[in-house]
Structures are given as C-alpha cells and as structure tokens.
A and B are shown apart, each in its own frame.
Chain A
Amino acid sequence: MEFSNLQSLYRQVIMDHYKNPRNKGIDKNNTEYHTVHLKNPTCGDDVTVAVKISNGVVEDIRHEGIGCSICCSSASVMSETLIEKSVEEANILTNNFYEIVKGEAPNEDLDMGDAISYAGVASFPARIKCATIPWKAFETAVLEINSQK
C-alpha cells in the first residue's frame, strides 16, 4: 500500500512518541542539567530541553513542553536518539536529522533510530520548524555548555 502524504507525516512511530513520550519531565532543581527553552511564536510550540553531559558524552536528555504532535514527538525521539552518544556524534546526528526533514537522503551509516521516520515532514514545509525545535534546543544546550567551560 502506498502511503499518502499525511500517512508519511503522521507515521505510527511518531504518534506513539507523541502519546507515550520517553524521557519526559524535567527536574528543575537538578543542577547537573543545562536547560534551554525554545518557542515557535507563530504556532505556540514551546519546548524545554535539559541536557546532561559528562566526559564528552550525552548522559541524559529530558524534555517537556506543549505543542503539536510533530514537535512533542520529535523531542521524545531526539532524546532517545542522542542519549549515550558522544557530543560529537550527537551533533552529527542532529545535522543529519535536519537533512532528513528537508527531504534529503539520510546518511545510512548513522544510527538515527526512530528519527528516520520524519522524512514525511518534507512534504509539509510549514512543519519543518515543528520537527526541528527540540533538536535546535539540544544544539543550543551543547553550545552553551561548551561556552561556559
């Protein structure tokens, strides 16, 4: 069966992450995490991502926020995909994710996990931002952590 555009956008994996988000909930008092809050003012997507890095490895990512299914699920998928990766690798995966949502062929050598399911976003350019916000928040967190050192 051929997927319609909508079916490729709202893949089951995506809806599953939306309904059962992994790594959700941030403990604001835990100082081991660096927190970044990003918003998409045009649609109200509002995501906070908390990142814990030690010895160059992403030890943990937590997230919370409100938004559409693409944005919220993407936060969950991002956390699953990037936890336990080296910071360097996490950045490469993040950039590969941006390529995927733009409709570019993914780098097959990379372990994208469920993030590979976001290729359908490319047919809905207005939604690319929804998908990328949590990843941008992660990127920002890494930058801020590095600049604090």
Chain B
Amino acid sequence: MSSLQTVRDDFKILNETMNGKPLVYLDSSATSLKPNSVVEAIEFYNTKKTANVHRGVYKLGNEATELYEGSRHTVAKFINAKSSNEIVFTKGCTEALNLVAMSLGHSIIEEGDEIITSELEHHSSFLPWQWIANHQKAKLVFVPLTEDGRITVENFKSVLSERTKVVALTYVSNVMGYITPIKEIIKLAHSVGALVSVDAAQASPHIKIDVQNLDCDFLSFTGHKMLGPTGIGVLYGKYSLLEKMEPISFGGEMIDLVDLNGSTFKNPPYKFEAGTPVIGSAIGLKAAIDYINKIGFDAIQKHEIELREYAIDLLSKIEGVNIYNTVSDVGIINFNIEDVHPHDMASVYDNHGVCVRAGHHCTQLFMKWLKAPATLRASIYIYNTKEDIDALVAATISGKDIFLHGIF
C-alpha cells in the first residue's frame, strides 16, 4: 500500500465528513472520487478555453477542439485502439452500450437468431439486446453461470451456436468483481461470425484494457468510475464496423451535406456524436487517464487486492456475515448480514460515515440468481486505506449489535 500513500492528498473530498464522521468512501464501483487534476482540467476549459468544438474559426475555438480531440487520442492510447477514429464519445457507458444495439440490432438480427448475454450483466448491458430480441423475434440466450456465479469459456461454448449473431457480456462484474475470460470468448464468438460487445465499465478503472489484443468488436466504458467526471463515456468500435453502422441520433456536427431530399453524414466517430458534446467532461477524462497512467495498473491492482484480502479476512471473522465473492478479482466485496436487511445496515454505515451500496446494483437478474432481494457492496479503489476497512468492520459489528441484540 506504501506506493499509494500520497494519493489521498489529491482528493479534496476526503477532507469532508459525513454525519460528523470522517468520510469513508467504499462505493467507487458506483462512481469514483475525482482527483484535483481532473477538477482543474474541467475548470481550465470552463475558465480559460471555453468555446464550442469543431466550429469556431477563431483561435479559442481551435484550442478547445484540440483539447477535446486530445482527449480522444489519450483514450485511444489508453485502450490501445488502432486509431482515434475508433473512439466515440458518449454520455456514459449506458449510452455507448445502447448505441451499439440500436444502430446494429435491427440490421443484423433476424428472426430465429440468437444473442448471448448473461445474468451477471448490468441492466445497461443486456436490456438493449432484450429489446432488440423482442422486436426482431430473436432469442436471448444466457450463459449458464458456475456455482460461484462466474462466466467460463466452457459454459460459453455450451450456448454458442451457428445462430449466435451477437455476444454482449461484461468484462468485470459490478457485483462479484469477477474478470470474464473475454479474450477466449471473443475468439470463439468470431469463429461463428458473431460480433462481441464488451461492457468494460468496471474493467477500465482496474485492469489494463487492450482492444487489439482482445480483438473485441465493441467495448464501452464510462468516465466517472475511473476518476473522471460524469457525463462522458466511451464507445470503442472497430473502424470497419463503425463505418457500416447507421447513426441513431441526428443533428449538428454529425452531418456532411444537408439537402432537401436527404443528407450525408460524417465519418466515424463524428457521425455518432450529434450535437454539442460534453466538452469539459471529455477534457476531464483525459486528466483522469493521465492520473491512472501515472500510478499504473500494477500498483492499482496490488493495492486493491491487499485491501480486499484484509477486509475479507476481518469480515469473515464476524459471525453472520455472508460474503458472496471471497475470491473476487478486483476490490469488490458483495455481502449480507444474516437476518438484517441490507437497507437497514446501510443506514448504520451511513451513520458511521461509511459509504457502501445497498440494493440490487442494477443487476436484478443476478440478484434473482443469488436468491437475495438485495445485497451490500463495498468497493475499494486507490484512495482507500486499512483505516477505511476498519471503519467498515466496526460499523458492521455495530449494525449486528443493533439489529440482532438491540444494543446501540
């Protein structure tokens, strides 16, 4: 943990309190905190470089455009895309995942075709395809999960067929923190000619993504879970595919020639970016990526795993604490306290200044699979410390005392 000791100074919000207690932020999988450099980058645009992009002939407009396009370039390098033209800015991961389904779904999915997804998906990953499947009379097929809730290559093979046209799967589960063996799955999917859309919302903050190595067709993620601001997301798509896809949103910036009888559109990525983009957030995303790169994924992973193990060790010693993923691959701990509703526990954490998520985590399918109406989720990121875990543990014990023994 030593190497990350100074990062806390970069997050002003960590000086805040919640309910009179020092803020213990263990909900980074919902949204991460933002370092000062990200806040400053957005402020820089808003106070020094404000102008619309791709329009102004004047110098300021050009500078704003360069900052915005510079961010696209940084994103491309971050995931090792071949070209910046394969990076479409969206307002988040949800919009990116929807864009793929709405643009492609009606043209490539026909009656009787199959779309493979899983019960581990975030709603934004499988709902667009459920919609398409219903409209096109196609079949949504779910990869059977293993006993501990994982997607495996074997189980994927068992549902892959010549009818498979699209595979929509998560790279890292937002509830269990499992890493999907997505590279092997992509290879298999391609062998039957299926396209693969990867939900990388929980991957981009934690592991190095290399789209060329994965050979994925599409990959989506969101800025606000990886130290960046809200309002900005990314759709990576292979250029040859983006080129063939139709835009789903129309307006300024995406057009080439506009005529009474019809219009033509720009090349990717611009044909998918109708209207004025969230310029400041895109610029903030670049600062976030710079920050992650400076720390490096090796240090990030080491830190998360160390803290996760520390937490699991302490939590599992508390009687009645059920941890659903003692072996998660990133810093996500999904748990419940026997006979205590997660929402009741959440208020105890709240009172202790500890932010954890309680609910179904936008994964109602997986909650059904777990047979739990809701769970608690603590998620760890670079700025967390052993003291944060100690606070989580202390609040957990206190909650048990309150609800099981009436001791406040």
Instruction: List chain A positions with a Cβ less than 8 A from chain B.
Output: 4-7, 9-10, 12, 15, 41-46, 66-71, 124, 126-127, 130
Contact = CB atoms under 8 A, between A and B. Distances in A.
B403 interface: yes
A42 B341 contact: no
Most buried by A among B341, B342, B358: B341
Interface stretch (B24-32, B210-218, B344-352): B344-352
Contact of B374 (A5, A10, A43, A126): A43
A67 B341 contact: yes
Nearest to A45: B343
Contacts of A9: 347
Nearest to A129: B343
Interface residue range, chain B: 20 to 34
B402 interface: yes
A93 B19 CA distance: 31
A44 B374 contact: yes
A48 to B, nearest CB: 15
Contacts of A10: 344, 402-403, 408
Most buried by A among B347, B358, B360, B373: B347
A88 B104 CA distance: 55
Nearest to B374: A44
Given A43-B343, A43-B374, A69-B341, A5 B19 contact: yes
A66 B346 CA distance: 17
A43 B360 CA distance: 6
Given A68-B343, A127-B343, A44 B373 contact: yes
Most buried by B among A6, A46, A71: A6
Given A67-B341, A69-B344, A7 B359 contact: no
A124 B350 contact: yes
Contacts of B19: 5
A7 B408 contact: yes
B359 A44 contact: yes
B359 A42 contact: yes
B243 to A, nearest CB: 39
15 contacts: A4-B351, A6-B402, A7-B408, A10-B344, A15-B403, A43-B343, A44-B359, A44-B374, A68-B343, A69-B341, A70-B343, A70-B344, A71-B343, A126-B347, A126-B350
Contact of B359 (A43, A46, A71, A127): A43
A5 B347 CA distance: 10
A67 B344 CA distance: 9
Interface string B218-251: 0000000000000000000000000000000000
A71 B347 CA distance: 13
A45 B359 CA distance: 10
B403 A69 contact: yes
A126 B367 CA distance: 21
B402 A46 contact: no
Contacts of B403: 10, 15, 69
A23 B42 CA distance: 56
B406 interface: yes
Given A71-B343, A126-B346, 12 more contacts: A4-B351, A4-B408, A5-B351, A6-B347, A7-B408, A12-B406, A42-B360, A43-B343, A66-B373, A124-B347, A124-B350, A126-B350
B406 A15 contact: yes
A67 B408 CA distance: 22
Ranked nearest first, the 4 interchain pairs of A and B with the lowest CB-CB distance are A44-B373, A68-B343, A68-B341, A44-B374
Contacts of B347: 6, 9, 124, 126-127
Given A44-B374, A124-B350, A6 B408 contact: yes
A78 to B, nearest CB: 18
Nearest to A120: B347
Contacts of A4: 351, 408
B373 A46 contact: yes
Contacts of A70: 343-344
A47 to B, nearest CB: 12
Contact of A6 (B343, B348, B373): B348
Interface in B358-400: 358-360, 367, 373-374
Contacts of B367: 44
